[in-house]
Structures are given as structure tokens and as C-alpha cells.
């Protein structure tokens, strides 16, 4: 069945989240987080973060500890970044043994297994929860909150373009939401920082775009409401999305991805690599 692995991982999240380790803590000092793709989005929830390629380009950073995020532990650019970094490294991952684990000073395994779907869901939320726990946050309520989110119906529409905006704590969620829609349902999904959306990006948005604006906190929430008002003036089908925690907030977009994939008859499990054109494209780089 198309999407079987993605569906299984998505609905396994409460169980996987209950197994995220909570005893450890990051050491004292300034942390820097890194990763690529979904793992970079997870990394951004932990604090100061830099994409792995940017760290390779400029490894001299004002930090005491590098925290790398890689579910399978073999992401080439993350491995390169860890090797370029001249200091201690921790790894947040789904495997105790890997190429990056061999380079790390400490490895934290946050999932009970390696996620089989390439459209990662459970590995993302567990990485975010694991980072939160290592930062001293209480994550005990997250499994139940995710269970509640999984009961929310997802409406698949026929829009060809989607937009997700967020800022502050919601910014990583906006990026990950758009990535899920792109790789799992093959739709043109854009992520925008809420404030940046209001500075020129609106010129390429019209009533054909399905929009989601994440609430965020404080001043970001105020700007989110103004962004919603602007999008409604353009005639967009826009939803103002209340936010609670990055682990919880992403679930509605995971469900939407699966609903869109089902409605359009596509398979999110292989993120289009079962099509020879996209397989050739992937073979063109490491």
C-alpha cells in the first residue's frame, strides 16, 4: 500500500516519544546545533544552529559543544561538519553505531528503531523531544498531546501551491512542514519567516495558494495575525495555527502530507526516488 511506512511511523509517534531518554543533560557551556534537511530543522529547536554546509565553510564558531543531528548517522555533509569542527561533539541519532557516531564524543539514541520511511516523521519528533529533554525540559506530556493531534482530521485540497509561515519557536516547524509537503506529496510548498513574508514575498502570493500561519509567541504572534489579515485580503484560503510545542505543532502537517499523498495517488515512503528521474537526480550527488 502506498505510504504504508509513512503512515506506520506517523501513528507510532506517541509510543516512540514515550521511549525518548530523559535522564541526560547537555553539559554547561555554549551549544551549537547542526544537521541537514529534517535533522537541521530539529537542530534549530535546540538553540543556536548552523546548517552543516555553513559549518564546513566556516568551522570557527563561538561555542563550547557541537550537537549534530542525524537519524541514521551517515549524512555526508553533517559528517564533514563534525570533522571540520575543532571541539567536542554530541550526536542525536537513531543508531548507536554509524560514521558520525565514530567521530562523536557522546551519542544519544532517541528512537527505538531506524525509521523506514524516507519521509521522516517519528524520527523528527523524537529528535526534537530528545533535544528538549537534554536541555532540561519536561517532555512527559508530549506523547499524549501528539495522540490528540493524530485524531485531528486532515483535509486534502486541490491547491497546487502551499505556504507555511512562522517565526521564533515556530520557525523550524514552518520549514519542516513545507519539507514534508514537498517530499511526501510532491506539491510546491514554500516556507517563509513571518516577518519576511510581509517584506515583498506577498507579491508572488494570490488566491491560488493554500496558506498556514503558525502563531508563535509574543511579538511573533502579533505579526502572525497581521500576516493572516494580509493573506485574507489577497483572497487566500488561510489558516491561523495555534502553537504549543514543536513536537506537537508538526503533526497536523504530517497528517496533511499523508492526506494529500492519498488523494493524489502518490507514495511518500520513497520521497519520489521510486521514479527513475528522481533516482538519477539523487545519484548525481553524494
Give the model confidence (pLDDT) of 175-202 as tens digits.
999 999 999 999 999 999 999 999 999 9
Q: Residue 1 pLDDT more than 80?
A: no
What confidence tens digit (pLDDT) does each residue in 90-133 have?
A: 999 999 999 999 999 999 999 999 999 999 999 999 999 999 99
Dump pLDDT digits (tens) for 17-70.
999 999 999 999 999 999 999 999 999 999 999 999 999 999 999 999 999 999
Q: For residue 171, which of 105, 249, 69 has the smallest C-alpha distance?
A: 249
Q: Are 271 and 183 in contact (CB under 8 A)?
A: yes
- Decide: 21 and 110 in contact? Cβ < 8 Å: yes
Cβ pair 119, 38 in contact under 8 A: no
Give tens-digit pLDDT for 215-252: 999 999 999 999 999 999 999 999 999 999 999 999 99
In terms of DSSP bridges, do strands 161-166 and 89-93 run parallel, antiparallel, or are they unpaired? unpaired
Average pLDDT, the chain: 97
pTM: 0.97
CA distance 44 to 61: 16
- The pLDDT score that the predictor gives to residue 286 is 81
Amino acid at each position: 500500500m502506498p505510504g504504508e511506512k509513512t503512515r506506520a511511523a506517523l501513528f507510532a509517534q506517541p509510543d516512540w516519544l514515550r521511549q525518548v531518554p530523559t535522564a541526560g543533560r547537555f553539559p554547561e557551556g555554549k551549544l551549537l546545533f547542526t544537521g541537514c534537511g529534517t535533522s537541521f530543522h530539529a537542530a534549530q529547536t535546540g538553540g543556536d544552529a548552523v546548517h552543516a554546509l555553513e559549518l564546513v565553510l566556516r568551522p570557527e564558531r563561538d561555542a563550547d559543544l557541537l550537537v549534530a543531528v542525524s537519524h541514521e548517522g551517515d549524512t555526508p555533509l553533517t559528517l564533514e561538519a563534525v570533522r571540520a569542527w575543532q571541539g567536542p561533539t554530541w550526536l542525536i541519532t537513531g543508531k548507536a553505531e554509524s560514521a558520525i557516531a565514530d567521530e562523536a564524543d557522546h551519542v544519544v539514541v532517541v528512537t527505538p528503531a531506524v525509521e523506514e520511511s524516507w519521509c521522516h516523521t517519528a524520527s523528527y519528533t523524537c529528535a526534537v523531544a530528545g533535544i528538549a529533554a537534554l536541555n532540561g525540559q519536561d517532555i512527559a506530556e508530549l506523547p499524549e498531546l501528539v495522540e490528540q493531534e493524530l485524531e485531528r482530521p486532515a483535509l486534502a485540497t486541490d491547491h497546487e501551491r502551499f505556504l507555511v509561515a512562522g517565526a521564533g519557536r515556530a520557525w523550524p516547524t514552518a520549514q519542516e512542514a513545507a519539507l514534508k509537503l514537498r517530499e511526501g506529496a510532491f506539491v510546491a510548498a514554500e516556507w517563509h519567516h513571518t516577518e519576511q513574508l510581509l517584506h515583498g514575498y506577498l507579491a508572488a502570493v494570490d488566491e491560488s495558494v493554500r496558506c498556514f500561519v503558525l502563531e508563535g509567541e509574543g511579538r511573533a504572534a502579533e505579526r502572525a495575525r497581521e500576516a493572516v489579515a494580509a493573506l485574507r485580503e489577497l483572497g487566500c484560503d488561510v489558516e491561523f495555527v495555534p502553537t504549543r510545542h514543536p513536537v506537537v505543532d508538526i503533526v497536523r502537517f504530517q497528517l496533511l502530507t499523508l492526506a494529500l499523498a492519498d488523494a493524489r495517488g502518490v507514495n511518500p515512503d520513497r520521497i519520489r526516488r521510486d521514479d527513475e528521474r528522481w533516482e538519477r537526480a539523487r545519484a548525481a550527488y553524494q
